[in-house]
Amino acid sequence: MNANEMAWLMTDEDPDMWPVVACRRHVSYGESHWAMFDCGMVQFITRMMLGQFDDCPLGNASLWKRTAPFVSWREQRRRMVAGLDPMTGEPDPYADMFPITDD
């Protein structure tokens, strides 16, 4: 996500014990690009999106405290072609102003 990389630090034979390591591309001068989090990947992503860390754990805050459902670009495109709001899936009253075709 935005050139940040997340991985597991495989320090234990049990994968459930592997902490998450993040390489943050965009950090302030003097900060380390590397950060370790003592939790699993699902918990890391959940905590990041709910804003449960003291600060954004990545160098980009586009998913920080993002509690709205994630909609892939393909689903957004499908909704737009169908005349729906790409994020909510509800009818878009302005859809006919800028018609989009699926070609």
Rounded to whole angstroms, how far apart are CA atoms 10 and 16?
10
Both tokens assigned to 59: 């160098």
Q: What is the DSSP letter of 20?
A: E
Whether 33 and 50 map to the same domain: the answer is yes
Rounded to whole angstroms, how far apart are CA atoms 91 and 44?
34
Whether 62 and 72 map to the same domain: the answer is no
Q: Which residues is 13 bridged to in the sheet? A: none
Whether 72 and 59 map to the same domain: the answer is no
Which pLDDT does position 43 carry in this prediction?
92
Whether 98 and 84 map to the same domain: the answer is yes
Q: pLDDT digit of tens for each residue in the chain (103 aa)?
A: 455 788 899 989 999 899 999 887 766 778 777 889 999 989 998 898 888 988 888 877 777 887 777 788 899 899 988 999 888 889 988 888 877 766 6
Which pLDDT does position 102 carry in this prediction?
63
Whether 32 and 73 map to the same domain: the answer is no
Which pLDDT does position 97 carry in this prediction?
81
Rounded to whole angstroms, how far apart are CA atoms 76 and 84?
9
Q: Which domain holds residue 73?
A: 68-103
Task: Count structural domains, the chain.
Answer: 2
